[in-house]
Structures are given as structure tokens and as C-alpha cells.
Amino acid sequence: MSVTNLKSIAIIAAFSLLFSCNKEEEDIDTITEVVTSDCDASTGVDKIVCLANNYLGTLSTTQQTTSVNSLNLTNAKKWSNLPENGSTRLGLKFSALSSTQLLAAKALLAEVMGNTTDQGYNQFIQTTLSDDNLSAAAGGPYGSGNYVIGFLGTPSTTGKWMLQVGGHHYAANVTFDAGEVVSITPSHQGVEPITFTTSGTTYTPMATERAVMADMLASFTKDELAAAKISTVFSDCLLVPGSTSNTFPATKLGVKVSALSSTAQAKVLAAMDPWLDDLNESTAANYKARYTADLADTYVTYSGNSSGLSGTSSSFFTANADYVRIDGPGIWIEFICQTGVVYPSLIHYHSVYRDHDQDYIGL
């Protein structure tokens, strides 16, 4: 989300505090001034670096040491969709941050992430609420307090560094180099259950992701669906979160987008948008242009979805193991339905967005 003035940031800060892991009463305006006001004159990556350094400035020396680690491939791969006690993440847990520190962290995240409805920072907050819902239902390692924020390399407008934030059902890995965004993958999103209610408000954080994938497949003719479908059954995304391998399948499966109708081709392009809209507008636009140029050489494949019918989007993604993949020269997106873990009578969603050329760029 691009935040251009102090008033906008105050709104974000208030929203952040509402869903914070730390429940102390705070003066929102005072905190906002402390963590953001000296960045108001900056834009783009300059502002992101300013907010990153403001956040680091709220930390103790020990916390700073924990927060900033070496930029290398081993460290970059330390991300996962597993609950905290089953995985390793570098950085500080949200639960270890004071309210001031958490607001500073979230001001940074709000600037990096997009502001499309139910995407970007708003979706991130909804996802942490979903994990709080799981924690209330099952206890254990779930919950927004187990989300971790950290840096690989020192934030600057001249060097290379990566921002990592993640927890059970959300992971973002954004790399900057010489004042430019050079990689926005790997990333992961999930939700269980797909709809939940907290404090009287109902959320469906991945409704858009499911809808665009279903609309895409429904736009295929019967013959195009047959060409796209494979018999392989998936229990999770193929390139799972935290995978220690960057190896993508050598052969692209399914139907080539250039063989689809113009209507279906447009639906394939639209199906990419929710994953790209999790970054600020300028970053998302750059990646959309790149993937549009590659569209003709992109493939779509799916499996499961035994009830899926051409022209009927509601017939897709209704059962465990319903799966779809968009695989281009650059883009790789997977979306799958799974049986719930905490709510086994309900399905939940997992997705992964990666890039053949730019995952862990330069590493």
C-alpha cells in the first residue's frame, strides 16, 4: 500500500493496533509520529528503507542483531507454512514486540504491500486473524503472535537486502537491490477454514484467489478443459513453502495459453492478479507487464475438480485435492483445496507463487 501522508498512516496504525498481538492501550497519533513521520517526504523504495530503519530504530541492540541476518541462499530458504514450533524463521516474533515496535513493523509492511481490496496488507491482516481463530480453536503454535519479521542484509537504497515476513498461512520474501524491487517470490498464502467470523465480522481472505482461478477454468471450452487436465493427484502445492529446492518441472503440462480463445486468455491473465496485487501498485504493474508479454508461452493445468464444468465457475474448487497451476516462462502459481487440519470437516486453501527466473534473485 502506498501511504502518502501522516493521516493515512494514522489510519493504518489504528487498524494495525486493533489486530495487534499486544493489547496495551496506546496513543495512536503519538506512536504514528514516532515511527513514520520522518518518512513522509520519501516515496517508493526510499520510503520503504526509511520505514525499515525506523522499525529497526525502535529495537534494542539485541533485537536488532536477531532481526538482521546475512543475505545468502541458506537463510533465504528459511520460510515455511508450518506452525512456528515445526519450522525455523529468522527475525523477531510479533509477540516479542512492544506495541510501538509492532506498529513500526506494520507501517513498513503496509508500504511494501498493495492496497487492492482484500489483497496486500488487508489480506495479510485477515490472514493473521485467521490464525488467531485457529489458535483459539486448537491452541498450540497457531496465532498472529507467531508471525516473524526479519531482514537478510541491511536495508538501504544502494545495497541488496530482503524483507521476510511470515507465519503459518502467509509468507512474503521481497528483495531490493540498488533502490529497486528485484524479486517478490517465493510467497505463500493459505487459510483455514476458508470463511471465519471474529468479533462479529466474517472474513474470506482467499475468496478472490479462488474466484479468479474458477472463472479462468470455467472460461475454457469442454475441449480446452480436457487438454488442460492431468491425472496426477496433489495433496499440497508441488513447490511447497519452504522447499529447499529451486527445481521447477522440466516439462510444462496442460494447455498452452496461445491455444485458448481470446476470452480464456484474458481470464488466465486476470487469474494472476491477486498474487501480484499483494505488492504496492508500481511493483505489481512491473510484474504484470512482464507476465503479459509471456502469456502466449504460459501453460495452465489442473487436476481433481471432477465436478468442474465449462461455463460454471461454482463447479470448481469444491473438494479436497482440487488443484490448478499457471506455469509460464517466469510465473508459477499453484492453488489447491485441502481437507482442514483443525476443522477436518471443511476444506482449506493453500497457494504458492514463485518465479522461474527471480526466486531468491542473485542467490
Distance (Å, whole) CA 300 – CA 308: 15
Phi, psi of 5 (to 5 degrees): -155, 165
User: In terms of Cα–Cα distance, which of 35, 76, 193, 70 is closest to 127?
Assistant: 193
**Cell numbers describing residue 131:** 490464525
Query: Over its length of 363 residues, how does the chain's per-residue pLDDT go in tens digits?
Result: 333 333 343 334 434 444 443 333 333 344 444 456 689 889 999 999 999 999 999 999 999 999 999 999 989 988 887 777 666 789 999 999 999 999 999 999 999 997 888 899 999 999 999 999 999 999 878 999 999 999 999 999 999 999 999 999 999 999 999 999 999 999 999 999 999 999 999 999 999 999 999 999 999 999 999 999 999 999 999 998 766 566 899 999 999 999 999 999 999 999 999 999 999 888 999 999 999 999 999 999 999 999 999 999 999 999 999 999 999 999 999 999 999 999 999 999 999 999 999 988 877
pLDDT score of 360: 85
Fill in the DSSP letter of residue 229: B
Query: Which region holds residue 219: left if phi is over 0, alpha if psi is between -120 and 50, else beta?
Result: alpha
pLDDT score of 246: 62
- Distance (Å) of CA 276 to CA 202, 220, 281, 290, 312: 24, 23, 9, 11, 25
pTM value > 0.85: yes
pLDDT score of 78: 86
Angle at 127 between CA 123 and CA 133, to 5 degrees: 145
Distance (Å, whole) CA 127 – CA 133: 10
Q: What residues does 352 pair with on adjacent strands?
A: 188, 334
Burial (0-12, 13-18, 19+ Cβ within 10 Å), 107 = buried
